[in-house]
Chains A and B, each alone.
Chain A
Amino acid sequence: MRAASQREVGDAARVWARPEFWIFAVLALAPLAAKLGAEAYLLSLATHALIFAIAALSLDFVLGHGALVSFGHAAFLGIGAYAVAMLSRWGHEEIFVQLLAAISAAAVFALATGAISLRAGGVYYIMSTLAFGQMLYFFFVSLSAWGGDDGVTLDARSRLFGAAVLKSDVGLYYFALAVLMACWALAERIVGSRFGRVLGAIRQNPLRVRAVGFQPFGYRLTAYAISGAMCATAGVLLANQSEFVSPAFMTWQRSGELLVMVILGGVGSLWGAILGAIAFLALEEMLSSLTEQGNLILGPLLVLIALTGPTGLAGFVMRSAGGGAR
């Protein structure tokens, strides 16, 4: 199911055969295509999709490679978004400063809650990540200095090296694309590294890994922290896109949607999560433009996907591409 391994990247001829190449190429050209239609609307949709692609990618990293079903990932989106709101009010508008703060805060939250959630594992892990996400949600709801339930509006978007590049929607789009590509490259690197191999082995058989002398706990916790930090960068971008931050970014339903994106894309392929996020948001947008009761279709569709258990879009792409894509 996994995409071609890391070693093949150096092989220039094969770059063309990798689905990631085509995904990123299409995403890079998307703003040009948007000019043909309602540009502002399409571009904002595409940016939204990129941001959720980052979040879904981060979840697929820990879910597909660490076998950890985190049901509280929206909390990290919230951490990233509030990092932007707080820092910009305190006069730090530089996006790299905000990213750094968001990543550190998310990693600390992931380490603290993950260490507790991982103690029991299994369904306890799923339920406790859900509960910790909800805890953070209620924390921000009751934080009246930052608007509580209503959230806060940002004065302006962040600045890139002091310049107002992100003010333009195209600038923000390409910045989001750059972050997505960086996150994907990092995740691929980690999966292909020694750390990633151990993580994959733990997923397949924790008992044997323990017998060889590795402690799964540290590896899993580290993977969770990396994933949370990655997801927080999506939160930073989300705050910038909407120029608004509220606890609604981090409801548990949002965490559920992130899981749906990953499953839709195909668990474990990383690039599948990008497709999954785009497909889910496109589907949602299409259904809501068709009818007000789009959820009456979306819900049963998810049930159907779960029951038939397909391999997701990634599996579909690999199968249609046939042996040639290997």
Chain B
Amino acid sequence: MSSALLVVQTLNGLQLGVLLFLIAAGLTLTFGVMDFINLAHGVQYMVGAYLAAMFVAWTGSFWTGLALTLPTALAFGLLLETTIYRRLYDRAHLDQLLATFGLIIFLNQAVKTLWGAAPLSVPIPDLLSGSVQLMDGLFYPVYRLALIAVGLATALLLHLLINRTRVGMLVRAGASDAPMVSALGVDIRRLFMIVFGFGAMLAGFAGALVAPILSVQPGMGDDLLILAFVVIVIGGVGSIRGAFLAALMVGLIDTLGRAFGPQLLRLAMAPAAANQTGRSLAPMLIYILMAGVLFFRPTGLFPVKR
């Protein structure tokens, strides 16, 4: 029974991990390539979820809704880039924080005004509804398995894109030394736009993917944003590989820690004390991990060479 629980929680952890990766991937590149702190990345994830909810309700089909969400999320990201972010790239971090914080406040309120404060829900598509039996007495929803698979596939695709294509090469070069890339005759503004738009689309994609299993509500991106920051600090700013491994680590440690922390502590402590300590300690685990990584490797596990 306990092994079944372990499998379920590991899958849940993986699911959180790939979700975090989709969000952190765009964020780590905007940090690494543009040296830009985008607090509004979390609300872009939220906007993706709302767009998916809207399009699915309009078209009545999850797949059409998803297909419409991606280009719209991309367009939304590009709109933000051209109107606001572009003017902030060479400004102090403080100005970037202020502007993107203002965007969070605005967009959280805007979705409330447009769609109401009550959470929306999106039905799971028929094709992926139901559960499969993984082992004796253990059923797991197909949709969640599909989510993990899609996340891993996206990570692979991104890996190929970054490491095997010309644009990917420029992005890697930009993360190491953006002024030098610009000096070599590359249109750096266009590169910034591509990186930013792509990151916004990935965040929107993540939002659309979780719309059927989480409630779509204002502020849903706020806490995930902080987790994505933790992922980036652990993985190293600008590193996709670091973001991927750190995202899986954070997802698994957070989920397993909450599920099994109290039980593990019971080996060393009285049950009541173990329960209390475990419950307080579990949500702090990933931050303690981050502190440890920062202490021993101040620039993350996979720092980009400069």
A interface residues with partner B (beta carbon < 8 Å): 63, 69, 71, 113, 116-117, 119-120, 123-124, 126-128, 130-132, 134-135, 138-139, 141-145, 252-253, 256, 259-260, 263, 267, 293, 295-296, 298-307, 309
Contact = CB atoms under 8 A, between A and B. Distances in A.
Interface string B88-119: 10010111111101111111111001000000
Interface residues on B, range: 35 or more
Contacts, number: 136
Given A253-B222, A302-B105, A307-B99, 20 more contacts: A117-B294, A119-B298, A120-B298, A123-B31, A126-B93, A126-B97, A134-B226, A135-B284, A142-B282, A144-B279, A252-B226, A256-B97, A260-B101, A263-B98, A295-B106, A300-B106, A302-B102, A303-B106, A306-B95, A306-B99
B290 interface: yes
B230 interface: yes
A126 B96 CA distance: 12
B101 to A, nearest CB: 5
Contacts of B294: 116-117, 119-120, 124, 128
Contact of A259 (B35, B88, B97, B288): B97
Nearest to B294: A116
B56 to A, nearest CB: 26
A260 B97 CA distance: 9
Interface of B is mostly: helix
B287 interface: yes
Nearest to B233: A127
Interface in B236-254: 237
Given A138-B284, A144-B276, A296 B98 contact: no
Contact of B95 (A134, A252, A309): A309
A196 B146 CA distance: 57
Nearest to A113: B291
State the 4 A-B residue pairs at the shortest beta-carbon distance, nearest first: A299-B106, A302-B102, A306-B99, A135-B287
9 contacts: A117-B294, A123-B35, A124-B298, A139-B283, A142-B279, A295-B105, A300-B102, A304-B102, A306-B96
A250 to B, nearest CB: 13
A69 B37 CA distance: 12
B260 interface: no
B98 A260 contact: yes
A302 B98 contact: yes
B299 interface: yes
Nearest to B112: A293
Contacts of B298: 119-120, 124
B87 interface: yes
Contacts of B99: 302-303, 306-307
Nearest to B99: A306
Interface in B30-45: 31, 35, 37, 39
